[in-house]
Structure formats: structure tokens, C-alpha cells
A and B are shown apart, each in its own frame.
Chain A
Amino acid sequence: MIQVEHLTKWYGSNQAVKDLSFEIGDKGVYGFLGPNGAGKSTTLNMLTGCLSPTEGKITVGGFDILEEPKKAKKRIGYLPEQPPVYMQESPWEYLHFVGEAKGLRGEELETQVSDALAKTGTEDVKHKRIGALSKGYRQRVGIAQALLGDPQVVILDEPTVGLDPIQILDIRNLIRELGRDRCVIFSSHILSEVQTVCDSVLMIARGRLVAFDTPENLEKQLRSAQQIRLTARAGEEKLREIVQTVAGSSVLSASADADGYTSLTLSGSGGYGLTEKVFGAFARANVPLAELRIARADLEDVFLELAETPEQAPEKTAEKEEEA
């Protein structure tokens, strides 16, 4: 649906987006993940034609966003970082304006406006002034605006910021529902959110695409180099001695706990096989384990690792996605 080739954006002498290339399919939820200032909003603004790239090409549904902007923009619904609502209008008036600007008329306009109001749960406030609504409602009116015109691509820039937990769940459900028959791209810097909602994750750090894969695959990438934590009632020397008998592991750190317990962090690979070996070694030494667990890598770790090594080539993971 969306093809991005060698996208680059310079703000004066500051390069906000560096040679970004990726392709996004027709359906599904795509998470756009990155720390603040990574270039998320800049990229989304370029995808929607709000900002011109310094270099590179963007096509939406086969139409170049710069050469055939009307056709390309008709296929996009966009919620910018700050919902672009007119404070003195009511949601109903506002949605009628946006709908008309998107080329909807008469019966179709009415049904789409009431649909969008219903989907975003803003029906009961539709005649209030937007300026008098809470941040959460404004955000939802902004999402309703993006849904008008039945776009094939919905792009939401940090849609859950400033919402209460119940509203966040509502919005996440809405995003999942939308992702069933169209492509939804939403940006976030909250990892758990991306993990629960997205089919695919694009990670961006310092203007570069550092990963493009499913959340599960990204976790697997780190699982191979996992950490094991264990605690037992014995001195540090004793524990190190036992661990040394297990092949393929090394002690990363040790700390003495209360009541004579000591905790070790091991590094190693081999998943459950390794933990079983560790358990066996402690059993043979007759030292009962108080705790033994694999410190699960989650997106947070993947993210930190990838964000710290921005020079790493992302092609490998990107290709995997295209094959799928």
C-alpha cells in the first residue's frame, strides 16, 4: 500500500530522517516505534504529504504523494500529533467540513459522519464545542476525522497520548478492528502498547530504520543471547564453582542478598536446555536453588540494543517481512 524509497529529510543542517526505505502491506496494524526525536512525526508527516522530503520517493496505493497528491491523499486518513480540530466548532460541524473536503456529499456524508462518531464513541458530545471537550475526546474527534472517506491507510501519530487507561483500551481495540480490513500505521514510544496491538513493528532511532519485523521475531532475536538469574543460599565462591561446571555459560554479575542468599546473573544460550543443566549442576552439588529463571527479553531490550547500535544494517529483518 505504501512504498517508501530512500526517504531523507534535512532541517537546515540537521538530518532528521536518514535514507529510510520500507514497504507496507494492504492490511494489518503497523507500529512505528522510536524514542522522542527519532524522526517518527517527521516521517509520518512526509507520508501524508504535510511535509516535503529532501530526497526520496513515497507512493500510496501506487500514486506518488508529490506528483499526484489528490489521488494519494484520498487514500490516507491522518491524525497528526496534535489533533487538528477547530476549538469553536462542534464535532458534528467539524466532521461535516472534513468529510466535504474529502469529497463526500449528501447521504454518504451523513452516514460516514455518524459512523465515525459511533466508532470513536463521540456521539454523546457531538453538539458540544470541541474547545470544551477533554483531551481524550478531542483525540477521538481527531481519529473520527481520519476515518472519514473510508481511507485504505489510517495513520495515527501517538493516538493514545493523554488518554486515561479505559480510553487507551478503547483506542487500541479500535486500531485492531481497523487493521482487519485496512492498513493502520500508528506511532508510539510505549513499547507494551506496540507489543499488544501491532502485527509488525518498525523501529526507528536517530532517523534510521533499525528494525522491521513482528514483535515475536524481534523478541526471538534477543532470546538467543539470554540471561539467567538464580538465587541460592551459599557464598558467591561456592556458586561460581558450581556454575563453572556447566558448559556454555558465564557469570555476568553476583550480589549478596539477605539471610545468606546470593544471586547470580548468567549469560549463555540454549534456552530451557541451559537452565536444566544449571539445575542439574546445583542438584549434584546438593545446593538447593531458591530461584532460577530466564530473564525474558522483551521489546524494551530489543529496542535498547537496536537504538544503541544505529549503524547496524536493518535489511535482514526488512527482507524477512517482505517475504511473509
Chain B
Amino acid sequence: MKAVFKHELRQYFDSMTAYVFGAFLLLFIGIGSMLYNLQSAVSNFEFVLNFASIVFVVIVPVLTMRTLSEERKQKTDQLLYALPISTTQVILGKYAALLLVFLIPLCFVALYPLLFAQFGEVYLPTAYGSLFAFFLLGAALIAVGVFLSSLTDNQGLAAGLGIGALLLNYYSVSLSEYVSSTAVGSLVTFAVLIVCLGLIIRALTRNDMLSIAVGLVLLAALIGVYALDGTALEGLLPDIMKTLSLFSRFSVFVNGVFDLTGVVYFLSVTVFFLFLAVQSMEKRRYN
């Protein structure tokens, strides 16, 4: 794992990736602090982080796009499979390197609240609580990016998928107001999602029976719930969209609440997507 970590880190710093990522992160946070802290003379540093969080939508996919897809393209994944290290170690090594690339610019950012505190009253607990949540948010998004990169051998596609997924996640709260909150609307949407899930299972396992069985069981359960208690589905879709949004979890911290469920949520998302990335790599062995 250490070897993979060192190797990845060197790759990020030998290429422009780490610098471009850091530069964009610092640039956006810099613009934010100029607008909020300097021009508007607001002492809340957390607003800056809230403003800058949209930059993740672009820079995280650009950082993570080549993590696994490039290995596949250059056939260096064969080396990783043949080395006496497990796939989990490979993914963790790569992820640790990505985290460090992300952490280095954040160390500079961590000085800002202290700097502003020299010239006025800054409520440091909220500022650092938000910075911590900002780090966890980024860490979770990077894990999503690593997983998406494992799906294809095309960097560009990985980046595109990543930007799409993060953008959807960023706007999911505002979008949730526009989706149908009626029971029938939820029913139809979930039915479509179940069919999609069935198709994904079929694509991954090439097993018609399994995908049809899973799809039918879920559809039956859905219709059962609707028949028994239609009101249970009311407003479920917007609720789920709100709950799944990583960015809305982050805004809780910005509002001055150190939300432990948020911390747990970010960590779970990270672990879940790294697990999926390991599975996706392992699955290629069974092709």
C-alpha cells in the first residue's frame, strides 16, 4: 500500500494534476474570502467555504479521472493484479495519495481564519468545524470519483460522468422542489429506477434470471407498499433527493451546527464508494 501511495503521489506531482487542483481550490477560496471577508467585511469564514464548494464539481473529477481508467488503458492494471498486493491495498494507496493532494492546499486555507482573527472578531469553532466538514465532503466526492474512474478506460468519460454526478448532487436539493411529490409520481419514478437497477445487474453479471428476479421482487414490494398505504410514498422522492445530497449535509456545518450524523454520512459514502471501486476492479478479473 505504501508503495502504491508513494508512486501515485509522485505521479500527481510530476504531472500538473496536483498543482492545477490545488491552484483552483485556492483560487476559489481566495475569491470567496475577498468577496465575503474583505469586500463585504463579514467575519464568517464558513460562508467562503460554502461559496467555494461548487468548485469540487469540476476539480474533483479532473483529479480522479485517470486514477484507475489510465491503468486500464495503459494495461498497467495487469501489473497491479500480478503484484503481491491486494486490490484493497491498491485502492487505499491511491485514495490516500489523492487525499494528501487535497489536504495540502487545505493546510494553507486553514491559516486564513487565524489571519483574519488578527484584524477582528472571527468565531473560530464554526470556521474550523466547517473546514473539517469541507475536507470530509471533498474526501467523499473523491471516493465517488475513484469509483467512476474504475468503470471505464477512458479518462474523459470518467471525468464527464464525475462532473455530471456531482453537479446533480450539488443541485439535487433545488431540483427536489420540482420533482413530483405525489404518491403516483414517486411510484412511477421508483418503478423506472428499479428497471434501471435490473439492467445494471444484468450488464454486470450477464445473468438474465437474477436481474429479472431482483427487478420483479422490488417492483412487487413497491406496488405492495403503494396498495397498502399510498400516503407513505407521498413526498418520498424529494425527501430522498435531499437526504442523499452531500452538499446539503455540508451546509448544516456552515450554519454553525457540528452535525455528527453528517460526519458519519460523509465517512459512509467514502467507504461505500471505495468498496465499490475495489469490487469493480475485482470484477474485471472474472471477465
Give residues in A with beta carbon < 8 Å to B: 11-12, 45, 48-52, 69-71, 73-74, 76, 78, 80, 82, 84-89, 93, 97-98, 100-103, 145
Contact A88 B11 (CB under 8 A): yes
Query: Is the CB–CB distance between B286 and A69 below 8 Å?
Result: no
Binary contact track B240-275/A, C-beta < 8 Å → 1, others 0: 000000000000000000000000000000000000
- Cβ-defined contact, A88 with B3, below 8 A: no
B286 touching A52, Cβ below 8 Å: yes
Chain B 205-246 interface 0/1 with A at a Cβ cutoff of 8 Å (1 = within): 010000000000000000000000000000000000000000
Which residues of A lie under 8 Å from residue B287 when comparing CB positions? Answer: 11, 51
Bound-complex Cα distance A74 to B14 (A)? 29
Please tell me if the beta carbons of A73 and B76 are within 8 angstroms of each other in the complex. Answer: no
Q: Considering the chains assembled together, what is the distance between the CA atoms of A145 and B7 in angstroms?
A: 15
The answer to whether A86 touches B286 (Cβ under 8 A) is no
Q: How far is the CA of A12 from the CA of B287 in the complex (A)?
A: 8
A50, B82: Cβ atoms closer than 8 Å: yes
Interface check B39, CB cutoff 8 A = no
- CB atoms of A82 and B6 under 8 A apart: no
A51 / chain B contacts, CB cutoff of 8 Å: 285, 287
Q: Which residue of A lies closest to B5 (CB)?
A: A100
Provide a sorted-by-A list of 16 A–B residue pairs whose CB atoms are within 8 angstroms: A11-B287, A50-B285, A70-B84, A78-B82, A82-B75, A82-B78, A84-B74, A84-B79, A86-B76, A89-B10, A89-B11, A97-B3, A98-B79, A101-B4, A101-B85, A102-B83
Whole-angstrom distance between the alpha carbons of A281 and B41 in the complex?
116
B6 pairs with A100, CB closer than 8 A: yes
A101 is contacted by which of B74, B83, B285 (Cβ under 8 Å)? B83
Check B3–A100 contact: CB distance below 8 A: yes
Cβ–Cβ contact B78 & A84, under 8 A: yes
* Contact partner, B7, options A45, A49, A97, Cβ 8 Å: A97
Beta-carbon contact of A85 and B76 below 8 Å: yes
Closest 7 pairs (CB-CB, A-B): A100-B3, A84-B79, A101-B3, A73-B84, A50-B81, A80-B78, A97-B7
Known: A84-B74, A101-B3, A103-B84. 5 other contacts (CB 8 A): A11-B287, A71-B84, A73-B82, A80-B78, A85-B76
C-alpha spacing A184/B10, complex, angstroms: 33
Interface contact B75-A74, CB-CB below 8 Å = no
| Distance in angstroms between the alpha carbons of A304 and B144 in the assembled complex | 52
Q: Which residues of B contact A88 (CB under 8 A)?
A: 11, 14-15
Q: In the complex, what distance in Å separates the CA atom of A49 from the CA atom of B78?
A: 9
